[in-house]
Amino acid sequence: MDLPPGPDQFTRSWAALRTAVDRLPDRDFARPSGCAGWLVRDLVCHLVIDAQDVLITLATPADAAATADAASYWTAADRPPADGGPLDALTVRLAAAYRDPGLLAFHLDDVGSAAGRAAALADPRTRVSTQRKVLTVADYLTAYVLEWTLHHLDLIAHLPDREGPPAQGLARSRVLLERIAGARFPASFEDADALLVGTGRRTPTARERAALGDLAHRLPLTLS
């Protein structure tokens, strides 16, 4: 599957994720998420920070040639940092400080809506700078489709009655993860399962491990 430039899939995936958060009752913010060690409220706080990053990046144009694309934007490691990273600890403390889940959801809607508008207005051909990399807006937004899709799966990991990410976003995220991995997942894998197993959010079954073959020894991929 090709990954055409433009903000359309970014917009759909981001809108679906924000809608899913908006529909959560307060009690669900205290449930575990699919991110190890994080509650749903911690994940939502992380999404606020992500939305801020999108706004900052889209407002940081670059004149230099692109040094990365949607796949090489990501750094893939075979294990997460031992301490989870300082930003993870800050996110948990910040999420707890909100106290009222409604305020946290409002903040996400406020900043997230602005990020969505900025993405829709951005020229996909222009280049932006982030994390010491230069890439086109199209590639940057495509990279974030994977971010939104994975975190949508994280959001509903222990909320099976909640709607999942859009099918097209799942399919495109799978293609991007395969490019990052340098290998394709077996056709027997559903898109969501490829993403969950590929990033270590779920342990593969014995049958899945056999189908993965040599790829099983290179998983999971920790993306940053």
The alpha carbon dihedral of 89, 147, 110, 159 has a sign of negative
Q: Name the percent of the chain lying above pLDDT 90.
A: 88
Question: With 80 as the cut, is the pLDDT of residue 199 above it?
Answer: yes
- The confidence score (pLDDT) of residue 89 equals 87
- The confidence score (pLDDT) of residue 87 equals 80
The model's pTM: 0.94
pLDDT average, residue stretch 128-150: 97
For residue 69, name the pLDDT band (cuts at 50, 70, 90).
very high
Residue pLDDT, tens place only, 155-171: 999 998 999 999 999 99
CB 55 within 8 Å of CB 115: yes
pLDDT average, residue stretch 71-93: 80
Range from 85-99, 110-124, 173-187 carrying the lowest mean pLDDT = 85-99
Q: How far apart are CA 128 and CA 51, in angstroms?
A: 16
- The confidence score (pLDDT) of residue 82 equals 59
